[in-house]
Structure 1
Amino acid sequence: MSIAVSADIKPSRMLLLMMAAAAIVVALIGVIFAFALVGQLSFLVRMSLAAVCIVAALLAFWLVLQNRKAVWLHISGTGQIRLVEHHAAVRAKTGSRVMSGGLAQLLAGSTVWPNLLLLRLRLENGKVRTIPVLPDSVSKETFRALQVACRWVASHNNDAR
């Protein structure tokens, strides 16, 4: 049986909506502090807490938007992983629109659940990249194939240690 799989992983809309909801909740906590609905805090402390909450919510959501990149993930039959980041608008062809690419290694701490893959990959340059793969990021068949391939690679990485 070959575990080779190739997947075009699009940024998840479901994850974006969940992160937007979390940012809104944190910002609302800031609003609650600003209008003195919690405790007997001084005006300066209330406004400081409100500002921190709102800035944290905006910063967190901005960072989520900045990290929304589509990737091509190729896992060979021997378990070698190649990761290529590209613009979401690019579909079938590579070229000048490819942002970066190279070999990667699946790290311990990667999560493989029935409806979520959090792949921690160490790139050739030493950076660690976490790629969230939700069912809306790829097709159903590709998601299942990625699950099987990642479990196979993880089990063989543990055997090598």
Structure 2
Amino acid sequence: MSIAVSADIKPSRLLLLVTGFACLCVALAGILMSLLMPGTLSLPARLGLAGGCILAAAVALAMVLRDRKVIWLHISGTGQIRVVEHLVQSARAKPQVMKAGLAQLLAGSTIWPGMLFLRLRLENGKTRTIPILPDSVSEDTFRSLSVACRWLISHNTAKAKMLEK
């Protein structure tokens, strides 16, 4: 059986929507707490609390927006993973490669029927988490990626057990 699969992973709109809603809730919670606790804390403390919540929500949303890149993921038949980040400027323009390199699937990856969170160790030693939801790729590609990642995890576990003996 060949596990080779290639996928263009687009940023998930559903994940952006959920993250934006969570950030809005954090900001509103800070504002409401500052308004509903007049006797408990002084005015500067309440304003600081509200400002801190708004700032935390804004920073979280900015980090999510900054990491929204199209990723090309290729898993070869031998289990080698190649990750290419590219920026598409317009529909007619060719994608511009930003970063490319080999990666290794780490044990903390989450593989659920409706969601994949792939933790990858890149060549430079950094760890990268790639969220893949059903709206990021086609249904067939999602299924193929799920099978390939499950095979990689089982294969890596078998290798680790062999090395322990």
Residues in 2 aligned to 1:21 and 1:129: alpha-carbon distance in whole angstroms = 24
Structure 1 counterpart SS, 2:71: strand
> How is 1:2-151 mapped onto 2 (pairs within 5 angstroms)?
2-37=2-37, 40-89=40-89, 97-151=96-150
1:17-71 deviations in whole A, cap 9, x for unaligned? 0000000000001211232357622112111110100000000000000011110
2:63 partner letter: L
Residues in 2 aligned to 1:93 and 1:35: alpha-carbon distance in whole angstroms = 50
Structure 2 unmatched runs, 5+? 161-165
Residues in 2 aligned to 1:152 and 1:38: alpha-carbon distance in whole angstroms = 57
Per the alignment, do residues 92 and 114 of structure 1 end up closer, same or farther by CA in structure 2, a change over 3 Å counting? Answer: farther
Residues 10, 88 of structure 1: 8 Å contact kept:
no
Residues in 1 aligned to 2:148 and 2:93: alpha-carbon distance in whole angstroms = 24
> How far is 1:94 from its partner?
6.4
1:2-21 deviations in whole A, cap 9, x for unaligned? 11000000000000000000
Residues 88, 94 of structure 2: 8 Å contact kept:
no
TM-score (norm 2): 0.91
Q: What is the total number of aligned residue pairs between the two structures?
A: 160
What is the aligned-residue identity percentage? 60
TM-score (norm 1): 0.93
Residues 105, 118 of structure 2: 8 Å contact kept:
yes
Provide the aligned C-alpha RMSD in A.
1.9
Residues 27, 57 of structure 1: 8 Å contact kept:
yes
Structure 2 counterpart SS, 1:35: helix
Structure 1 unmatched runs, 5+? none
Residues in 2 aligned to 1:16 and 1:73: alpha-carbon distance in whole angstroms = 21
Residues in 1 aligned to 2:63 and 2:34: alpha-carbon distance in whole angstroms = 25
